Structure 1
C-alpha cells in the first residue's frame, strides 16, 4: 500500500498561518481546487465550509434545488439514483445555505431565489399528513420508496428538513418583502405538519406511515439516538402538537433512558440504542443539533452538552487507543459514524461495529464538542490524506487506510452536516436562529427543558 504525504514544508505552511496574495485579499479559493496555504485557521475553515456547502449549491438536483442522496466525484450517480432527493440531508443542506449567505459564499439575492424554489417545490411534493417521504423523485416531486413498505411519510427525515427550514424562516423573517414572503411560505409548511397523527393513537411517535401499508413499518421513536429533534418539533407545533407524556413515556421510556455506563472515564448518561457501553455512531450528536443548541440544554434526564461532548470524546479516545490495531487510526485520524464502508453502508461505532473505516464528517461535525481534536483531524485529512480523500465537494464520505480503500463517493447526510456544525462552533448562528423561534421555546418549556434563551 502506498500512502502519499505532502512535503513537511507544506504542512508547516498550512499550520503556521502563512498567507499568499490571494488570501490576503480575502478571496476564498474555488472549492474544487485544493490550495495548500491559508491566511489563518479561520480562512481555512471558510474554505472547508464553502466546499461542503457546494454539494447543496452547485451539486443540487436541478428541478428542486435540493440535495441528491448520493454522488460520485465525476458528478455521476449510482445506477437509478440520478434524480433521488433526500429530505433529511436537504434539511442539513438548507441550514448550510444560510451559513453560505451569512458568510458571503452565496450572494443573498441568489440564495433567497434558490430557497424560494426549494420551498415552492416542497409545497407541491408528495406529503402524508403534512410529512414528506424519506426520498423524493426530483423531476416529479413524487415519493420514491426507501424500502418495500417505506413509501409514505418519514417523520424523522421531515424533522431534519423542517429544522433547517425554521432556521431560514428566522433568518429572513424581518428582511425585505421578498424575504418575508419566503418566511411566510415556510411557516405555512410548518403548520401543515401533522405531528400528532404520527402518534398512531399511542403515547409515542412513530417513524413511518404509508397510505398503502399504514403503520406496518412499526418503528416507535424511543431514545437515545438521532431523533430528539423530532420530539422537540412535535411538541412545538403551533397546529398539531403532541403532549409531553409522549416524550416522557415514549422517547424517555418512562425514565429508563438514563444510563450508568462509563467508557474511557466518561459517563454516557443516556442509553444509546444498540450501543449501551461505548456510545453509538457520532451522527447521533449531530443531526438533532444543527439547530437545537445543546449548550445549556437540560431536562430531568440529562445535560445534553455533556451527553454529546462525552460521546465525541469517547469516540476520539477509542480511535486514539485503537484496540483493534487498524492502520491509520490515531489522535489525528479518528471518527466513527454511519457511512459507506468496505462492504456496503454501515453504522460504524466503537467496539461493537468498528470496521477500520474513518468517516471525516464524524470528527468535523463534532467541532463544537472537540474543537482541538477536530482541527487536528481536519488538517491531517486535508494535508496528509487530501490527495486520496478530497474532491469537488470536499472530503469523500469515508476511507480505510487498513484496506487501502478510498472510494470517490459522497453521501448527503454526511456531507451536509459539516458546514452547519462548524458554523455552530464558530458563531452559534444556526443555534441562535432555531432557539430564537418562539414555538421552539414554548415546546421546550412544555417538555420540561431548561435552555439558553438567546
Structure 2
C-alpha cells in the first residue's frame, strides 16, 4: 500500500483487498484446479521484442532504478514509500514515510543497477551494507518482522502502523537477492542474520495460516493470509527457514479458489492484478508446478483475463491503453481492478499493472507501455519513469511515483530481459529447498488447454510465438 500523510494507514493495501474478497473465499477448499491440467508442449521461441522495445525497457529500468538510490536515505538505507516524479534535480523528497517493502524492492533493484552499469559497484555495495546493517542493528522489529511504514531517517514506526508479515517478506526477498548477488562476506553475514532472525511460527499465532500483522496495543490481526495471492513468497520463505521454519504442509493451508472470466479459468481471489506478480518477481515458477497448479501459467492467464476485463468495461481501454492494479487514483490510494470489478475503476490507467506482467505477456505489455509513453509521456513520464497512475480525459496525472510500483516494474522488466533476479535469488539454497519440500517439480506441460490461444500481432521485424514459459534472455 501507499502511505498518505493526511491519514495514518490503519487499513493496509493488502488488508483492503483482503476485506473486499477474503471473507467470500475462506471457505473454499484447497483442491487442485482442473483448469491447470496441461497438455504436453514445448514451445519454440522466435524474437519477442524489437530493438525499439528493448531501448524502451532500458529507459524504463534506468529511470526506475534511479529512484532506489536517490530516494533512499543515505544513513539508514530505507526507501521512501513515494516521491514526486516531476523533478530535475533528484534531491531527497520531502516525504518522510519509508516502506519496508519498497526497501526490499530497492535492494533487488541495486543488483540491476550494478549489472547494467548504472552506478559504480563500490557505491552500490556501500548502500547495500548500510541498509542491511541499519535494519539488523538499529531498526525496531518484533520477532524479526518489521513495521510496514517507518520514519525514513530514524526507523521508528509511524502511528497506527502494523508489523507486517507480507511486507517483511518482500524485504527479505531483497535481502536474499543481494546476499546471492554480491560476493561479499559482510553482505552475506548481515543478510543471513536478518533472514535467520525471523520467528515465522510466531506470526502463525496458533493457527495454520499467517496473520496479516501485529499491533503493539492490540496484538495480532484477525485477518489471515488464507487464500492464494502474493502470499506464496511468505510461505516459501518460512518453510525454507533454517532457524525458525513452519511445516511444509503449511503450503496446503491456504485455499486456491478457482475463478472464471469469459473463456479464462485460473486460480485467483477477488484481488488486484499485483497478487499474480509479486512472488514471481523473485521465485522462479516457470516450467514448474506443484500438486495444484503451474503458477507461471496461472499468472499468464490472469493477465490475459485482466486485459480482456479492461477492454470489456467500455471506459476508454484499448490495446494501447489498459491495466489497473492497486495504486493511487485521483482521490487517494485504492485497491482496484478486476475481474471481477473491484473499486472505483474510472478509466484511469496504472502502468505497473502491465509492467509487472512483462514476463507473462511480453508483446501485449510492451505494446501498451510504449503506447502510454508515446501518447502521454509529456505529462505521465518523469525522472523515475511513469507516474503511478493517470487519467488523460480528466487531465489528471499523479504527481508521485510509488516505490513498490516502480519496484515490480523494474524487476519484471529485468526478468524478461535477462532473468537476473530469478537466477540470482534462486541461487539461495533456502528457496530451492522450500519449493522441493512443497512438491514442486519440473514439467514440460505448460500449456493451459482451458484458455484460448492468444492472438499474435506480429510485424515484419517482430514475429511472435506465444508461450507459457518464460522467454530467453533479451
TM-score (norm 2): 0.78
CA–CA distance in structure 2, aligned partners of residues 271 and 392 of structure 1 = 35
Aligned to 2:367: 376
Instruction: Please give the alpha-carbon distance, in whole angstroms, between the structure 2 residues aligned to 1:271 and 1:40.
Output: 34
Task: Please point out which of 337, 354, 363 is paired with 2:325.
Answer: 337
Which of 61, 64, 68 in structure 2 is aligned with 1:52? 64
- Which of 305, 312, 317 is the matching residue for 1:322? 312
Partner of 2:170: 160
**Maintained 8 Å contact 1:169/1:186:** yes
Aligned counterparts of 1:373 and 1:317: Cα–Cα separation in 2: 12
Secondary structure, aligned partner of 1:85: strand
Q: Where does structure 2 lack aligned partners over 5 or more consecutive residues?
A: 1-49, 444-474
Aligned to 1:304, which of 281, 295, 302?
A: 295
Matched, 1:406 2:411: no
Counterparts of 2:129 and 2:439, CA distance in 1: 35
For the structure 1 residues 326 and 433, does the alpha-carbon distance in structure 2 shift closer, same or farther, using more than 3 Å as the test?
same
Structure 1: any 5+ residue segments left out of the alignment?
1-37
SS at the partner of 2:145? coil
| Partner residue, 1:224 | 228
Which residue matches 1:138? 152
Of the three residues 260, 264, 271, the one matched with 1:266 is 264
- After TM superposition, the structure 1 = structure 2 runs for residues 346-365 of structure 1, keeping only pairs within 5 Å, are 346-350=334-338, 351-353=340-342, 354-365=345-356
Provide the residue aligned with 2:252 in structure 1.
248
Partner of 2:240: 236
**Kindly tell me: are residues 402 and 348 of structure 1, through their superposed partners in 2, closer, same or farther at Cα, counting changes over 3 Å?**
farther
Aligned to 1:99: 112
Distance 1:345 1:40 in 2: 33
Pairwise CA distance, 1:187? 0.6
Deviation at 1:74, TM superposition (A): 5.0
CA contact (8 A) 1:203 1:245 kept: no
Q: How does 1:387-426 map to 2 (within 5 A)?
A: 387-426=378-417
Q: What SS does structure 1 have at the residue aligned with 2:211?
A: coil
1:262-281 Cα deviation digits (max 9, x unpaired): 2232212x241xx2xxxx31
Q: Residues 227 and 257 of structure 2 are in contact (CA less than 8 Å); yes or no, is this contact kept in structure 1?
A: no
CA distance in 1, matches of 2:437, 2:408: 28
Runs of 4 or more consecutive aligned structure 1 residues displaced over 4 Å after TM superposition: none
Distance 1:402 1:326, change over 3 A: farther
CA distance in 2, matches of 1:192, 1:219: 24
CA shift at 1:451, angstroms? 5.0
1:188-211: CA deviations, max 9, x gaps?
111101111111022111121233
Counterpart in the other structure of 1:23 = none
**In structure 2, the residue corresponding to 1:140 is in which secondary structure?**
coil
Q: Could you list the per-position Cα deviations for residues 255-303 of structure 1 after superposition, in whole angstroms to 9, with x for gaps in the alignment?
A: xx241x32232212x241xx2xxxx311112211221112023111211
Question: Which segment drifts farther, 386-395 or 53-62?
Answer: 53-62
The RMSD of aligned alpha carbons is 2.1
Tell me the equivalent position of 2:79.
67
- 3-state DSSP of counterpart to 1:416: helix
Deviations 1:18-38 (A, max 9, x none): xxxxxxxxxxxxxxxxxxxx9
| Residue of structure 2 equivalent to 1:114 | 127
Structure ranking higher on relative contact order (CA contacts 8 Å, 6+ apart): 2
The answer to whether the Cα contact below 8 Å between 1:163 and 1:290 also exists between their aligned partners in 2 is no
Equivalent residue number for residue 288 of structure 1: 279
Task: Show the 5 A alignment for 1:153-232.
Answer: 153-172=163-182, 175=183, 179-215=184-220, 217-232=221-236
TM-score relative to the length of structure 1: 0.81
Q: Deviations over 1:126-165 (max 9, x none)?
A: 11001111012122121123x3xx44x2111000000011
Question: Which residue number corresponds to residue 28 of structure 1?
Answer: none
Residue 81 of structure 1 and its aligned partner are, at CA, apart by 7.2
The answer to which of 402-411 and 101-110 deviates more is 402-411
Contact 1:205 1:246 (8 Å CA) reproduced: no
* Residues 211-267 of structure 1, C-alpha deviations (whole Å, 9 max, x = no match): 33211x212111222221111101111100001233212x23xxxx241x3223221
CA distance in 1, matches of 2:282, 2:354: 18
